[in-house]
Structure 1
Amino acid sequence: MVFTAVEERRVQFSELSKNDAVVPVRIDYLAAIENILRVLPDTENVTVVVGTSPIEQFWREEIGKAVKPLANRVSFTWTNHLSFADLLKHAAALPPRSAIFWELMIVDAAGVVHEGNTALTRLHAVSNAPIFSYDESFFGREIVGGPLLAVLDTSRQTAAVAVRMLAGEKASDIKITSVEFSRPKFDWREMQRWGISERRLPPGSTVLFRELTAWERYRWQITSILLALLVQSAMITWLLVERFGRRRAETRSRKLSLDVIHLNRAAEAGALSASFAHDLGQPTLAIALIAQRVETLLSKDRPELGKIKEAVVDINRANDHAAAIIKQFRKLLKRTSDPEIQQETDLNGAIADALSILSTEANHRQVVLHAEGHKGPLLVRADPIHLLQVLLNLATNAMDAMVDNPSDTRRVAIRTAMRADSKVEVVVSDSGPGIPEQVIDEIFDTFYTTKPHGTGLGLSIARTIVDTYGGKIWAENCAQGGAA
């Protein structure tokens, strides 16, 4: 027979037969307590859990003898005089710098028998101090750890003895050295609970049940996410650079468009300059003639003050007329603002300005130019100079289209109307020959023109401006003749 896992102090070799072999173990209580003091160097008291049965009293005496060298270092409290209920209260109220060493609890002071691990489990649930032991069977649940009697070491020795006996070796001749503590191992969860640093552990210790960090647990997932974020960041950066470049290009394109629109309007001003000069000549000539008249009146011995006052009023009236003509001319030459900066503008006001600017030219060409339709303000969000530019381009093209018409049939109308969804419709129509159907879709193309000296920019610029503000512009022939 093989006796195994028997503490060497409990083996009675004299009573063994020649067919018996023993695999003893050696419990080093001093090393077990010193382990507590190593990992918890501030410990001042160790409560040793031991019951009242004879075997427990035996081990109480053995433990007391083993830890005598530590008498000046730490105090010991024994539980053999406590019932288990009192033991639980004691463990729950331990002062700081305390530890518990679990030996045995078979019978408590009240005579209650405890079986299995139930007592240790209940103690662990209420204790306010860490629990240590040498028994590996408790490791992973209730104890912190340290040097333990490993079941695997004992099992290997036992198996080796059994093999030797099966091979014919006499059992009484097999002498086995006692199995001692294995390399220290500790429960990471209990270390975290009681604030035990890994730096305090004995050299060569193993830490088990360590919870993986987020990086260790999800390394590949985190790496994939970081890689995806890196790629996404690179793409976002590239898109931002592209967007910045595109905005710069759009800004430059808008500026160039504004310059082209301004040059086009300046060209129109040049074309209309003769009409403006003619209009401006009338009030300036009137001012000169009235001034001569005033001079004549003042040269008399008795100046007629009433007539002089009338002359001065006439001069002021002529001056206001000239100022109005110059104001219209300046408005035509004014550089437009950025189309992104929109403002509420009265469309009927822009039409009135256009009619005023074109009136002299229309009279010169013998064209009847008038507006009709919606009365009162027509508010739209657009730059007033842009609206004026579109109206001038369309009306000028309409007058150009009627150059071969008899003078009494030349009519240009600008009509306004309110449509659904608060939309405004403006129609510029003429009484000319109309637009050939094969080119009607091309007249708004840049540089398209049928005029000998045309630039092909007027209608193209008109479309650009209308598109800028989200509008729509098109051309069609009228059923009664002409185009719109």
Structure 2
Amino acid sequence: MVCLIASSQAWAAAPTKKILILFPLESNSPGFVQFDQALRSALNESQAYRFDFYVECMDLLRFPGERYLRDLVQIYREKYSTRNIDLIIAPLRLSHDFLAQYAGELFPGTPVLAIDLDTRLIDAHTLQRSSAVVTGKFAMENTLDLALGLHPKVREVFVVSGASRVDRDVATLVQNAFRGYTERVQFHYLSELSMEETLRGVAALPAHSIIYYVSFFQDADGQAFLPNQAVAMISATASVPVYGLSESYIGAGAVGGRVYSYVRLGAKTAQAALGILSGEANGAVGPLEEPADQVIFDWHQFKRWGIREADLPAGSMVRYRDFSPWQAYRFQILGIASVLILQTLIIGALVFNLKKRRQAEAEAHRRMTELAHVTRVATIGELAASLAHEINQPLTAILSNAQAAQRFLSSSAPDLDEIRQILDDIVRDDDRVSEVIRRMRALLKKQTDSYESFDLDQAVRECITLVHDSAPLDGLSIRADLNTNLPVVRADRVQLQQVLFNLMVNAVAAMSEAPGTARKMLITTAMEDPRTVKVSVTDSGTGIDELQVDRLFEPFYTTKPSGMGMGLAISQTIVKAHGGKMGALNHPEGGATFYFTLPIVREGRP
């Protein structure tokens, strides 16, 4: 920051130099615009001076009369008599000639920096009168070589130029430069013509020919043009490609050529100007020349004429391409495409793995459901003898009552009231058998998951009835302490009954060694918290081996001689799938409690 402040203060204290740019043509000439911008930019970068710029575009081609010149001189006298101009920059011979006639009167003693399009256009008088000279250097021969190389069948070259003094001077340079090509191609010079005649001429040229455009500031009728506007008109009408000697023609209609940069010409002019302002004597600032070292082509024009980009000379610059995201952002697009492809592959792999995982989970669930069904069947099988007894008793009673009814009906005067009572007994025993079979079928039925909202207490009572009716233990007492105000739960009814049924069967087995009067089981339901219900099965058996507590819910772990060890493992899986948990604990006085929890349905009872 300190350096910036010091630099700003030094620049503010620098002396101010007044620069007059005396341009003889229109202010909107493309080459002059680029030259002027580069010149000012380079001078303003200097820390030695501050600059005031004055620009006069004299428009001498359109107003060449003596009266206009006298008026112009009078205006400049009034404008600059008290300005003390430090340096005059004079582009082109028209400005040089104007200063040769009027500099002593208008700007006595002011140094002049002469600028021209080509070194060969500077005459001895200009060199003598000027403090320094900066020029370009056209490469007409190189451009012609380029054109003939790209169009090897060309036999004729049509050189087009205007009728102004500037046009004639540059055309003379071109004509002298092309003398060495007369044995290779035939030259035709279209100059000193009106624009209408020029356009008619270029519209019907032979197939194996090209146009070499020089400049066109004015036609034979005195009509003024900007050279880039004229080349655009000629190119649009021409039946053959157009090449030119100026950078400003490329983009206006010329195919291309070897040219020099007006920007660099402006920078070299600033270099010479600073040398003059620093007090160097006349002649001490040597002549500066900007060579034509750029080969530039217009993309649209070489596409128009079927020129392949691969045939262009090495190092060529191609301008005015149609915007192509691929050309402008090729590496970014490749990078993004690579990332997208990689992401697609990763996502595809993840989707494939997810699909396989879901298939595996579905298969595991199916296997678990089948195993749960097998476990239910096995559990029912453990009670098969008791269930057979439970069914056999009412069937025996039905048979006895049916036989008794037959005997009553065989008598001469059957007692209808007695027979009616017998039939009522048969119906009651049949209902008893049907209820036992219904409960068994509900547990044995193989079905897919079916979630529904139901009363948990009712499901618990059904399991209690089934176990009570089928338990093989004498003296077994099953007591229920159920909370009648429980909210409904949403679950698979059969699976939850399987869990409770398995816990109750395990409790029966745990009490098999206990005395008959001590075989007691307690089933409770309660709210564990506002969102969870808890179902517990407590027995008075031998309890849980403390060394094996952690293995209770492992698959294939069992304390039964004939058990599979899958009941508790499957029960835990079922409870977890319903969003609950399962556990067990011992009682100091003996026995154990197994429990599971379930989330409630918050909407309330149906």
- Aligned equivalent of 2:346, options 232, 235, 241: 235
Contact 1:336 1:385 in 2 (8 A): no
State the match for 1:270 in structure 2.
Answer: 381
Q: Does 1:349 align with 2:426?
A: no
- Aligned equivalent of 1:423, options 532, 545, 548: 532
Q: Which moved more, 1:453-462 or 1:219-228?
A: 219-228
Superposed, 1:213-228 pairs within 5 Å as 213-228=324-339
2: CA distance between counterparts of 1:319 and 1:421? Answer: 43
Q: Which moved more, 1:267-276 or 1:234-243?
A: 234-243
- Aligned equivalent of 2:410, options 294, 299, 306: 299
CA 254–111 in structure 1, closer or farther in 2 if over 3 Å, else same: closer
TM-score where L is the length of structure 2: 0.52
Superposed, 1:356-371 pairs within 5 Å as 356-362=465-471, 364-371=473-480
**Coordinate RMSD, CA, aligned:** 5.0
Superposed, 1:130-279 pairs within 5 Å as 134=244, 136-139=246-249, 143-146=252-255, 150-151=259-260, 186-188=297-299, 208-211=318-321, 213-279=324-390
Instruction: Output one character per residue of 1:195-229: Cα deviation in whole Å (capped at 9) or x when no partner.
Output: 9575699x869772244743334333333333334
1: CA distance between counterparts of 2:139 and 2:547? Answer: 112
Contact 2:138 2:260 in 1 (8 A): no
Q: Does 1:64 align with 2:193?
A: yes
Contact 2:486 2:533 in 1 (8 A): no
1: CA distance between counterparts of 2:338 and 2:190? Answer: 65
Q: Does 1:394 align with 2:503?
A: yes
- Aligned equivalent of 1:456, options 559, 565, 580: 565
1:50 Cα deviation from its structure 2 partner: 7.7
1:64 partner letter? L
SS state of the match for residue 514, structure 2?
coil
1: CA distance between counterparts of 2:491 and 2:260? Answer: 91
1:383 partner letter? D
1:332 partner letter? L
State the match for 1:443 in structure 2.
Answer: 552
1:280 partner letter? I
TM-score where L is the length of structure 1: 0.63
2:361 partner letter? E
Contact 2:383 2:472 in 1 (8 A): no
* Identical aligned residues as a percent: 29
Instruction: Output one character per residue of 1:384-415: Cα deviation in whole Å (capped at 9) or x when no partner.
Output: 22111111111122122223333222221111
1:208 partner letter? V
CA 149–326 in structure 1, closer or farther in 2 if over 3 Å, else same: closer
2: CA distance between counterparts of 1:392 and 1:26? Answer: 105
2:462 partner letter? D
CA 130–432 in structure 1, closer or farther in 2 if over 3 Å, else same: farther
1:265 Cα deviation from its structure 2 partner: 1.8
Structure 2: tracts of 5 or more residues without a match: 1-115, 124-135, 145-150, 152-159, 172-188, 205-212, 262-291, 594-606
Contact 1:348 1:378 in 2 (8 A): no
SS state of the match for residue 444, structure 1?
coil
SS state of the match for residue 424, structure 1?
strand
1:334 partner letter? K
2:438 partner letter? K
Contact 1:276 1:360 in 2 (8 A): yes
State the match for 1:41 in structure 2.
Answer: none
CA 402–72 in structure 1, closer or farther in 2 if over 3 Å, else same: same
Q: Does 1:471 align with 2:580?
A: yes
Superposed, 1:300-319 pairs within 5 Å as 300-319=411-430
SS state of the match for residue 370, structure 1?
strand
Structure 1: tracts of 5 or more residues without a match: 12-22, 32-37, 39-47, 76-100, 153-180
State the match for 1:98 in structure 2.
Answer: none
1:272 Cα deviation from its structure 2 partner: 1.2
CA 147–445 in structure 1, closer or farther in 2 if over 3 Å, else same: closer
Superposed, 1:66-145 pairs within 5 Å as 71=200, 103-104=215-216, 134=244, 136-139=246-249, 143-145=252-254
1:3 Cα deviation from its structure 2 partner: 10
Q: Does 1:383 align with 2:512?
A: no
CA 64–3 in structure 1, closer or farther in 2 if over 3 Å, else same: closer
State the match for 2:518 in structure 1.
Answer: 409
State the match for 1:283 in structure 2.
Answer: 394
1:442 Cα deviation from its structure 2 partner: 1.9
1: CA distance between counterparts of 2:555 and 2:343? Answer: 41
1:66 Cα deviation from its structure 2 partner: 9.9
CA 421–219 in structure 1, closer or farther in 2 if over 3 Å, else same: farther
1: CA distance between counterparts of 2:301 and 2:421? Answer: 112
State the match for 1:168 in structure 2.
Answer: none
1: CA distance between counterparts of 2:328 and 2:467? Answer: 81
2: CA distance between counterparts of 1:316 and 1:440? Answer: 49
1:240 Cα deviation from its structure 2 partner: 3.7
1: CA distance between counterparts of 2:555 and 2:165? Answer: 114
State the match for 1:156 in structure 2.
Answer: none
Contact 1:432 1:481 in 2 (8 A): yes
Instruction: Output one character per residue of 1:213-258: Cα deviation in whole Å (capped at 9) or x when no partner.
Output: 4333433333333333444433334434433443343333333323
1:294 Cα deviation from its structure 2 partner: 2.8
SS state of the match for residue 586, structure 2?
coil
- If each structure's strand is expressed as a fraction of its own residues, which one has the higher value? 2
1:355 Cα deviation from its structure 2 partner: 0.6
